[in-house]
Amino acid sequence: MFDNLSEKLDKALHNLKGHGKITEINVAETLKEVRRALLDADVNFKIAKEFTNTVKDKALGQNVLSTLQPGQLMVKIVKDELTQLMGGDAEGVDLSGNPSVILMSGLQGSGKTTFSGKLANFLKNKKTKKPLLVACDVYRPAAIDQLHVVGEQIGVEVYSDRGNTDPVVIAQAGIAHAKTLGCNVVIIDTAGRLAVDQEMMDEISNIHKAIQPQETLFVVDSMTGQDAVNTAKAFNDVLNFDGVILTKLDGDTRGGAAISIKSVVNKPIKFIGTGEKMEAIDVFYPSRMADRILGMGDVVSLVERAQEQFDEEQARKIQKKIAKNKFGFDDFLSQIQQIKKMGNMKDLMGMIPGMGKALKGIDIDDDAFKHIEAIIHSMTPDERANPNKLNSSRKKRIAAGSGRSVQDVNQLLKQFDQMSKMMKMMQGGGGKRMMQMMQNMR
């Protein structure tokens, strides 16, 4: 996520020379490189210039604390200004209606239909809502089929009327259907085009006027850069939408859309899509995104994702097994499943401070655990529960069954043994001893 922008900003900010004060002389070259990094990321030229001018005005003449280098102070100023540029505070969706109606808009291919499903899944699982998805793309039968598949996948009802070609009537009928089902949120997926045209604008405008939604969201492909900002402006002029959703942030995104869009349309980014799975949706926090752009990671989001997947009852069972020295590969497998549910592995690693730079150019497969899973699934239930029974002949059989080498099986057993010992030590008060050792090392 924003790898190139992060690298260029990091290089620019840490090249700042001088001590004691940030002066016009030592800041000029740095801000020139910052502006160039923003332009390379497809940030609007006017916004990039205004941004660097604001940073310069705030930085000039500030006394640098004795514990800080000028570059470190500049990083803080740039982070604060990036946060403001992207919206300042996180904003949620308006769910005050009964039912609350959310109208999705955007170009074809922006990920509108998929994100409608993600949003329904998010509201169902995290906001305890009962959503209904409504298919109003009357031009692409495949879009209706896709929404039904998504709805079945997440366990959400989908309303469609294949015999009707009027999206306004379908939207109104969908809301009426939601009331009969007792649904308290209606998400309406609309048609898109390959480019902005008057027919599409008239259609989405007519739907908007007819249903008066509590929330109108504009879905944009973040990989399109400055074009995304221009499209957002065109839609906002017609719909006056309430917020933006950025999709495909897990791809080769330059970052221009995320940084520019709030300034151009003066509407907040509300959600981001970070992968293909239905759980790959995050509330957009400008300060956390600024941290990630500047290579500081996002520990808060990482902890939140971990907490979402944390099963307290399962944790208690595992604690008892560790205490009795009965922690087996079935338990290990359940831990892997919880980690996988947290999302894209490279994205998760990028949330750890300093890891973004270290992972540059390294491709981390989303199926990074598949070889481990294959080895474990090739064991018998008895072997998974009692790893100490794995002799050389059993290891050969497991290696053959999983398509891996005996060396891979041995390596997994060694890692499993080390992890089991560490977990037991942590449970037995070793955690306190480790903390004391770390504090003594400072």
Q: Which residues are annotated as a binding site for GTP?
A: 106-113, 189-193, 247-250
Q: How far apart are CA 231 and CA 218, in angstroms?
A: 10
63 token code pair: 């006394």
333 token code pair: 């497998």
Q: Is residue 286 within 8 Å of 83, Cβ to Cβ?
A: yes
Q: How far apart are CA 159 and CA 134, in angstroms?
A: 5
Q: How many residues does the chain have?
A: 442
Q: Which of helix, strand or coil describes residue 256?
A: helix
DSSP 427: I
1 token code pair: 């996520």
Q: Is residue 99 within 8 Å of 183, Cβ to Cβ?
A: yes
- Residue list, annotated binding site: 106-113, 189-193, 247-250
138 token code pair: 């009357």
Q: How far apart are CA 32 and CA 28, in angstroms?
A: 6
DSSP for 367-401 reads TTTHHHHHHHHTS-HHHHH-GGG--HHHHHHHHHH
